[in-house]
Amino acid sequence: MHQKAAPLKKEKNLREMLLHARNSYGDRDMLRVRTEDRQVKGIKHEAFMRDMNAFGDALLGLGLAGKKVAVIGPTSYEWLVSYFSVVCGVGIAVPIDKELQDDEIAVILRESEAECVIFADEYFDTMKNIKPSVPGIRCFIDMKGRPGSFARSFYELAGQKMRNGYEEREIDETEMCALLFTSGTTGKSKGVMLTHKSILAAAEGGLAYLEIGEVCLSVLPVHHSFECTHGIVMMIENGTTICINNSLRYFADNLKLFRPDAVFLVPLFIERLEYMIRKEVQQKNGGEEAFTALLQKSREEFARGEDRRGEYFAAIKELFGGRLSLLLCGGAPLPERLMKFFRDIGILLVTGYGITECSPLVSVNGNHAYKDGSVGKPIPCCEVKIVDEDENGEGEILVRGDNVMLGYYKNEAETGKVMRDGWFCTGDLGHIDSEGYLFITGRKKNLIVLSNGKNIYPEEIEDFIRLNIPYILEIVVYAPLEEGMNERSLVAEVYLGDGPERTRAEESLEQDFAAVNRSLPVFKRIKRINVRDTEFEKTTKKSIKRFTV
């Protein structure tokens, strides 16, 4: 099946988008931050653009016009000013994963050919350590600044109020403005070249399906394209106030402090929210049993057209500030039970499908058009088709449209592997149903083909096992071709934790797997179980590096 694109364009570049937001929503806070004394400080669009323009002029004064400027640190006002200053009139921004080791940061600085790096103060020692190994970096800028340091001060530069023609700089929306290095599960990272056009296409595509509300909380790392495009750019374009979650330690507290309408998260955080709810319920009269009965009652009433979720679950929603109505989850598959659970209490939890090479959004479920188990419908700016389909209609997902990257930086060989006549080959497998909803089955590289021609999608089996054996913390299903054997057998490698619960889990593991196997077709059954002593090696996105298993 092939889903066609529809035109959806507003501003040509990110500077025009910021100007439009300032002119349209100037009376609203663009950003809100938490102060040290737990107060909320609001920042207007005008103030942000004033600082952005001043810092942009300062960067031009350092001879960085058209150059690559790296930015590293947690989400902060300084990070956002730095990023937008670069892309809106200086050169190319290179957001760097803040979880990388020192030597990995140095590699990206060299491979990106960055000439300047702007860093949060907690990376001062890192920059000092790697400085000799990155001779191409001629300018270090500390977001805080230290007297007598090798690095310039962000605030001193922004306060110089130079005039170097920053606001008059022409922007070509089709040229690279951001260079993002992937941290994939299959090995060496690649530099993805994104443009103003691709980022805005993805942001506007999200708004075609989503009703965000007035306030959102930015939680995910801003160097990831999902958060940068949809947690930041899309919110600014929509006039939604962005509240910065300054620390994961304060996540629960910040929900109450900022009272967001929407939060974009990954499954790990969604599960944490569910845990908060379950914990609260257990402390109430009637506990889990009464809560389950109320959920069922609410579900039945809702099916009849009666919506009393706001009344029944008001106390629970107060845990999140009282206004939360939308959770958008990306980054990894999400169990359907969680979508139903949050919907039952009056919070819409929807999933989307994105990949950095598509800026990143490809498809998304919306407030009024969603289907559990799917990743929604393709956004208007792009076409999606399935190729090399098997007998079940499963095949590789290809994407073409304004959201697709220019290619991999200085890597024509890898670009050639994924671009086919203008189509980006995602490497993901799935299908599109009769209503146009996209479903993801797994990764093409992980596909297991048995000697009888049957296709095995390990992610599908892993999800089924996790659903039925919830004490398994991590699992990878694979099929090694062992010496002397003509047929591959499915192996499940699992991690059960390292606490006292592991002993109890191991005692029932074989019995529970036997029950799971009885529910699976013969060719999908697990033949051997390996129990690990340690967690699987992961990327900074917390995805398992399957190629190391």
Q: What is the pLDDT of residues 190-203, one digit of tens each?
A: 999 999 999 999 99
Q: How large is the average pLDDT for residues 266-287?
A: 84
Which residues have a Cβ under 8 Å from the Cβ of 215 and sit 6 or more positions away?
32, 240, 241, 243, 258, 259, 260, 261, 262, 323
Q: Which CATH superfamily is domain 447-548 in?
A: ANL, C-terminal domain (3.30.300.30)
Q: What is the pLDDT of residues 501-538, one digit of tens each?
A: 788 888 899 999 999 999 988 889 999 999 999 999 88
Q: Is 26 helix (H, G, I), strand (E, B) or coil?
A: coil
How does DSSP classify residue 39?
-
pLDDT at 499: 76
Does residue 290 have a pLDDT over 70? Answer: yes
Which residues have a Cβ under 8 Å from the Cβ of 87 and sit 6 or more positions away?
14, 93, 177, 178, 196
Contact 263, 226 (CB under 8 A): no
pLDDT at 8: 45
Does residue 1 have a pLDDT over 90? Answer: no
Among 131-140, 279-288, 405-414, 434-443, name the one with the lowest average pLDDT: 279-288
Q: The domain 2-189: what is its CATH number?
A: 3.40.50.12780
The single residue listed with the structure tokens 């990894």 is 332
For residues 322, 328, 334, 336, the Cα torsion angle rounded to the nearest 10 degrees is 60
Contact 150, 128 (CB under 8 A): yes
For residues 100, 121, 191, 233, the Cα torsion angle rounded to the nearest 10 degrees is 120
Task: Compute the distance between CA of residue 45 and CA of residue 33 in angstroms, rounded to an integer.
Answer: 14
Sketch the domain layout of the chain as residue ranges: 2-189, 447-548
Q: What is the pLDDT of residues 402-414, one digit of tens each?
A: 999 999 999 999 9
